[in-house]
Amino acid sequence: MTDYLQRVLRARVYDVARETPLDFAPNLSRRLNNSIWLKREDLQPVFSFKLRGAYNRMSKLSSDELARGVIASSAGNHAQGVALSAKRLGCRAVIVMPATTPEVKVRAVRALEGEVVLHGETYDESSAEAERRCREEGLTYIHPFDDPEVIAGQGTIGLEIMRQCDQPPRAIYLAVGGGGLISGVASYVKSLWPDVELIGVEPEDAAAMTRSLEAGERIELNQVGLFADGVAVRRVGVETFALAQRYVDRMITVDTDAICAAIKDVFEDTRSILEPAGALAVAGLKRDVAERHLDQQHLVAVACGANMNFDRLRFISERAELGEEREAMLAVEIPERPGSLRDLCEELRDRSLTEFSYRMTEGARAQIFIGVQIRGVQDRVELVQSLTSRGFPCQDLSDNEFAVVHLRHMVGGRLPASARQTPSVDCQELLYRFEFPERPGALMTFVSALHPDWSISIFHYRNHGSDTGRIVVGVLVPEAGRTEWTRFLDELGYPSWDETENQAYHLFL
């Protein structure tokens, strides 16, 4: 204990790192009925805490070691810390990164004049390559977590938290990959505030520390999930595991949806976008509050990184609502007859829909894929029961990974030949695209304006988060009804486009 307390106090980090603020999160605090504070390590020059440990270790290299250069393996954040530290200290830095590393992190390392080598699929594979090159080229290996000086550098976060808090918090939550962050902070904080809980958070599919602490020995995972790439480590360090056994109070695991929801929570409070590993602590804090019914407590979460690939935001925004239990994915059955679609929409009039996909099929019944905003698990259950009791059998697909990831983008197909025939007339399917102001009730206004005798053959709506909503509608209109359809378009007042001759429609729908 004394050794690490002294190491942290002597740590040399502020030549390149900065003391980051401990920001109050008002929205999150209000929702959870606790005082939530975010330690903003995403505000470091490399947008991650890793700079602290890397520079503290490298600042202690001899002149001969600096002249030969350093090498490191990293999924990105440690790489940037090493590259910036090397630039400041004037030495060569070779960085071995997994081929799966987000491009934003690769570019950032190269911008700091680091020599990037892409190797392997995981951190462990790139680490083995870095150690091989270290031996062959005489470079100094800068370990991302299993080194006392790296651990001590990360421990300066605990020093700052203690200085910034006006009272000891109930708990401090930290993301865990190899264990350098939590072991450094815990070894320092526990030496002065032994009653403060130090809680580690891992993804469910990369829980190396959780399983190791449960087993009493370091466990190597066969594979790890890569969504939170910053903590995708198959085995924790020797030193970090020993410190975690001594100082870490408990571990929490969270799934991908919970991480996405935490990213959104932090954005709403700070307008900053954390990377998945950076939001782990917040996701774990939320789960801990729910499971232990924590109330009126002071809780600190370390927001440890913000090196996010922009194209990941699409996935994160879709999954965040599911993670917060604010959106439900439902399969709703309706009679295949004119007016039934309108009847269903009438049942959902007071709900905000996020998605609505329907394609006419053979048979007397049809399935509609619906995304709808909810107010938690109980509201979701009540909605399913309500629709079913009103004659619309309903299945909840919110936890169905296939439905959430794939099916919602696949609903479609061709119109059955029999659907083109009414008892007395041939009908043509017309396909139209509409845009309308995205506001509550606008979608239902559109549906209500449709003639109740028209057979709707395609209906697709999806909330894209913009100020304009978009709908594609297929409708079976007999030749005698074209004038009425034209009148409907004129009176509706929404911009519309005739897509009946669109090549994509003919190929796939």
Q: Is the pLDDT of residue 283 over 60?
A: yes
The amino acid at residue 405 is V
Give the start-to-end residue ranges of the domains of the chain: 2-48+148-316, 50-141, 325-508
pLDDT at 457: 85
Secondary structure of residue 323 in the 3-state scheme: helix
In the structure, what pLDDT confidence band is assigned to residue 146 with cuts at 50, 70 and 90?
very high
Instruction: Give me the mean pLDDT over the 125-137 stretch.
Output: 90
Whole-number average pLDDT of the chain: 89
- Range with the poorest average pLDDT among 216-220, 249-253, 426-430: 426-430
In the structure, what pLDDT confidence band is assigned to residue 424 with cuts at 50, 70 and 90?
very low
DSSP letter, residue 309: -
Find how far residue 107's CA is from the centre of its chain: 22
For residues 74 and 49, the answer to whether their CB atoms sit within 8 Å is no
Q: Is the pLDDT of residue 109 over 50?
A: yes
| Protein fold of 50-141 | Rossmann fold (3.40.50)
d(CA 294, CA 373): 27
Instruction: Give me the mean pLDDT over the 278-292 stretch.
Output: 97
332-391 per-position pLDDT tens digit = 998 878 778 788 888 888 888 888 888 877 777 888 888 888 888 899 999 999 999 988
The reply to whether domains 2-48+148-316 and 50-141 share a CATH topology is yes
Is 317 or 165 the better-scoring residue by pLDDT?
A: 165
pLDDT at 159: 96
CATH class, domain 325-508, is alpha beta
Strand order in the sheet with 171-175: 22-24, 35-40, 298-303, 171-175, 197-203, 250-254
20-43 per-position pLDDT tens digit = 999 999 999 999 999 999 999 999
231-241 per-position pLDDT tens digit = 988 999 999 99
pLDDT at 43: 97
For residues 413 and 429, the answer to whether their CB atoms sit within 8 Å is no
For residues 284 and 199, the answer to whether their CB atoms sit within 8 Å is yes
For residues 264 and 203, the answer to whether their CB atoms sit within 8 Å is no
In the structure, what pLDDT confidence band is assigned to residue 440 with cuts at 50, 70 and 90?
low
Range ranked top by mean pLDDT from 40-54, 327-341, 456-470:
40-54
Is 250 or 97 the better-scoring residue by pLDDT?
A: 250
What pTM was computed for the model? Answer: 0.79
Query: What is the distance in angstroms between the CA of the first residue and the CA of the last residue of the chain?
Result: 68
| Tokens 């007042």, located at residue | 493
Question: What's the CATH architecture for 2-48+148-316?
Answer: 3-Layer(aba) Sandwich (3.40)
With CA atoms as reference, report the closest residue to 355 among 319, 328, 337.
328
| Phi, psi (degrees; rounded to nearest 5) at 194 | -65, -20
Largest CA distance in the chain: 93
Which CA distances in Å does 377 have to 140, 213, 324, 327, 380?
Answer: 52, 32, 10, 10, 5
pLDDT at 70: 97
Q: Is the pLDDT of residue 2 over 70?
A: no
